[in-house]
Amino acid sequence: MDLQIAEQKINEIRSLLNQYGYEYYVLDNPSVPDAEYDQLMHELLELEERFPQLKTSDSPSVRVGGAVLDLFEKVEHRTPMLSLGNAFNEQDLRDFDRRVRQAVGDNVSYVCELKIDGLAVSLRYEDGLFVQGATRGDGTIGEDITANLKTIKSIPLRLRENVSLEVRGEAYMPKGSFEALNKAREERGEDLFANPRNAAAGSLRQLDPKIAASRRLDVFLYGIGNTGASGVISHSEALNYLDHLSFKTNKERRKCATIDDVISFVNGWVEKRPHLPYEIDGIVIKVDSLEQQAELGTTAKSPRWAIAYKFPAEEVVTTLIDIELSVGRTGVVTPTALLVPVKVAGTTVQRASLHNEDLIREKDIKIGDKVVVKKAGDIIPEVVNVLGDQRTGDEVDFHMPTHCPECESELVRLEGEVALRCINPKCPAQIREGLIHFVSRDAMNIDGLGEKVISQLFAEKLISDVADIYMLTREQLLALERMGEKSVSNLIKAIEISKSNSLEKLLFGLGIRHVGAKAAKTLAQQFFTMEKLAEASKEDLIAVNEIGDKMADSIVAFFEQEEAKELIKELVTAGVNMEYKGAKPVSAEESDSIFAGKTVVLTGKLEQLSRNEAKEKIEALGGNVAGSVSKKTHLVIAGEDAGSKLTKAQELGIEVWDEEKLLVELNK
């Protein structure tokens, strides 16, 4: 067969496979028997093997899974992947509706969708071609799992139109695939997955795409990153547009004109939920109009235009066998209930935090009690209450110890706190927990260095502070339990990558008392380098918005310690970055830009920049971005479909720019 004929044949087969795949996996309406699809795929693979120059990245053959990866690359999301606020009852939904109507008026309609219990993914298409798929990660940076996502047959490799866009949705494992997978694993004597969500996440986090290909995963898309070019003006239109482009969306959605309609939709699904072929954990309610969505905006974590109604948590009864104590990073000693293992909301639960002694007294918990257990927010196991009438008299009272279970120093109760603390700074438990915190996702985000590996390294005395992580050698890591060549070289790469993290990740990772992830970001933006922050006085710190007295004291005290100075020196020597890498907001006085000291309001949809990007850039030039238009507003940037804010600006005679003008001024 010559090249030309092969190319023709390959194109023919690809187009048939694409069509059959779409009918089968997206429309759920196959037009040919499975064997015919398999036969065609076989032919295609053979032809591509003979003529490798004809392979393409959008060939249906990539569905079988390509080369094994060394590591998932990190992907920065162009717009952050937010999460949703939760509603747990009818009142929460009515409150949400009231907030929405207060902000945008009474002319609101909602779209209700099933909340699929899987993991969030973002898919990027350029000129109609699927180019990159990523996990949510920490919302700003996810992982590139393109090769694994390409094995999901309902994800189109090429769209019906040559558009460039980013779509978001939920990848999941259908209940049937989950049961079949666990059955096969049981037969092979392998560990079982606790629920479909873990199984889906576990499959997409494998470096070998053939594993994902064998797992029968699926996806529902529920949103478009940039709707600008499509002419779409509502969420319901966006979903229809996704259908049109050949994406798989969930059809159990409903447009609701009132919150009463929303509530009846939600209640209907409480009954129907068990009969679905996939797991859902709630209903997502979204304001339909995109203009109203833009007007409502987002908080740091979640949009104000949507909410997730979570189904009530399942409650089960089990026995509390014992209470165990653990010492956290800040020395707090926490009692944990050890339970007779019991299945709750899809996973087996055998431990639940009891938080502190007061809570144990309040709930009158004794060792040996029959207790009701649920998963709060469907994730964290919690003892709801004790079944007092089932006591036999053999139950035993629990008392908190007077000394640290790990280092035996005396525990103290700080003024105004319920918790008991170990205040020995050399307590091994605290040091170990601090190390676990340092490598965690919101801190230095070092993959492959989880709790288990850190605990081993610490027990073997290979690390005693965070700087030691950067001194680890290949040989030391290879000597650990369950660490092969591959995982060691991945770990070394991950440690290396973490050296270039922006300052806020390191600051948060250092575990300075009262400095959370958000404060760390503010500090990094304001002081820019570790050196400047270390030199800052209490007054300098308090002058920063959001930094209070307590935090300022704690920061000053941290940098005064000789150990801290030494540690930072060691980190610098190891090559760890000490600078903030994002845009730096400057004060109006420092800036000579046209934005200096101006209050700017963004409205409507921007094409080239996300709202966040625009805000960061304006602030970097000394401007201040506000949410609503008032007499104090100096300037309004009106994107496409701008609404009431634009009207108000015009009424007040405020200067209005379009996006193009904004870009010109930003780039001056």
| Interface with ligand IVH in residues 120-139 (CB under 6 A) | 120
83 has binding-site annotation: yes
d(CA 406, CA 402): 12
Q: Say which of 55, 115, 175, 569 is annotated catalytic.
A: 115
- Residue 126: phi, psi to the nearest 5? -120, 125
Kindly state whether residue 337 participates in binding ligand IVH, applying the rule CB under 6 A. Answer: no
Kindly state whether residue 309 participates in binding ligand IVH, applying the rule CB under 6 A. Answer: no
Cβ distance to ligand IVH smaller for residue 76 or 186: 76
| Interface with ligand IVH in residues 165-194 (CB under 6 A) | 170
36 has binding-site annotation: yes
Kindly state whether residue 222 participates in binding ligand IVH, applying the rule CB under 6 A. Answer: yes
Q: How many residues bind ligand IVH (CB under 6 A)?
A: 14
For the CB of residue 282, give the shortest distance to ligand IVH in the complex, in Å: 8
**Helix residue ranges, H only, 61-140:** 90-104
* Residue from the set 202, 225, 303, 328 that interacts with ligand IVH by CB under 6 A: 303
106 has binding-site annotation: no
For the CB of residue 224, give the shortest distance to ligand IVH in the complex, in Å: 11
540 has binding-site annotation: no
C-alpha 450: how far from chain center: 17
d(CA 456, CA 462): 9
Kindly state whether residue 609 participates in binding ligand IVH, applying the rule CB under 6 A. Answer: no
| DSSP state at residue 609 | S
DSSP readout, 104-120?
H-S---EEEEEEESSEE
d(CA 564, CA 510): 9
Cβ distance to ligand IVH smaller for residue 296 or 352: 296
Kindly state whether residue 83 participates in binding ligand IVH, applying the rule CB under 6 A. Answer: yes
| Interface with ligand IVH in residues 20-59 (CB under 6 A) | none
For the CB of residue 313, give the shortest distance to ligand IVH in the complex, in Å: 16
170 has binding-site annotation: yes
136 has binding-site annotation: yes
For the CB of residue 335, give the shortest distance to ligand IVH in the complex, in Å: 30
Cβ distance to ligand IVH smaller for residue 113 or 369: 113
Q: Is 53 left (phi over 0), alpha (psi -120 to 50) or beta?
A: alpha
Kindly state whether residue 82 participates in binding ligand IVH, applying the rule CB under 6 A. Answer: yes
3-class secondary structure, 630: coil
256 has binding-site annotation: no
d(CA 140, CA 75): 8
Cβ distance to ligand IVH smaller for residue 86 or 330: 86
Tokens of 137: 């990660």
**Helix residue ranges, H only, 499-610:** 503-509, 517-527, 530-535, 538-542, 549-560, 562-574
Kindly state whether residue 143 participates in binding ligand IVH, applying the rule CB under 6 A. Answer: no
Cβ distance to ligand IVH smaller for residue 223 or 604: 223
Cβ distance to ligand IVH smaller for residue 377 or 450: 377
37 has binding-site annotation: yes
Q: In the Cβ-directed half-sphere of 636, how many Cα atoms lie within 13 Å?
A: 28
* Partners of 637 in the β-ladder: 602, 657
3-class secondary structure, 466: helix
Question: Which region among 79-87, 343-351, 425-433, 629-637 touches ligand IVH (by CB under 6 A)?
Answer: 79-87
* Residue in this structure with the two tokens 């050949």, named with its chain if needed: 246
CA angle 431–437–440, rounded 5-degree value: 150
Kindly state whether residue 221 participates in binding ligand IVH, applying the rule CB under 6 A. Answer: no
**Dihedral angle sign, alpha carbons of residues 435, 436, 440, 445:** positive
Task: Say how many Å lie between the first and final Cα of the chain, rounded.
Answer: 59
Q: In the Cβ-directed half-sphere of 412, how many Cα atoms lie within 13 Å?
A: 8
| Interface with ligand IVH in residues 241-300 (CB under 6 A) | 284
Cβ distance to ligand IVH smaller for residue 115 or 248: 115
DSSP readout, 341-357?
EEEETTEEEEEEE--SH
d(CA 434, CA 431): 5
* Catalytic residue check, 661: no
For the CB of residue 294, give the shortest distance to ligand IVH in the complex, in Å: 13
Question: Which region among 57-65, 113-121, 487-495, 594-602 touches ligand IVH (by CB under 6 A)?
Answer: 113-121
- Residue 601: phi, psi to the nearest 5? -120, 135
Kindly state whether residue 113 participates in binding ligand IVH, applying the rule CB under 6 A. Answer: yes
Antiparallel, parallel or unpaired: β 655-657 and 635-638:
parallel
Cβ distance to ligand IVH smaller for residue 120 or 446: 120
Known catalytic residues are 115
Residues that bind ligand IVH (CB under 6 A): 82-84, 113, 115-116, 120, 170, 222-223, 284, 303, 306, 308
Binding site, annotated residues for Zn(2+): 404, 407, 422, 427
Binding site, annotated residues: 34-38, 83-84, 113, 136, 170, 286, 310, 404, 407, 422, 427
Binding site, annotated residues for NAD(+): 34-38, 83-84, 113, 136, 170, 286, 310
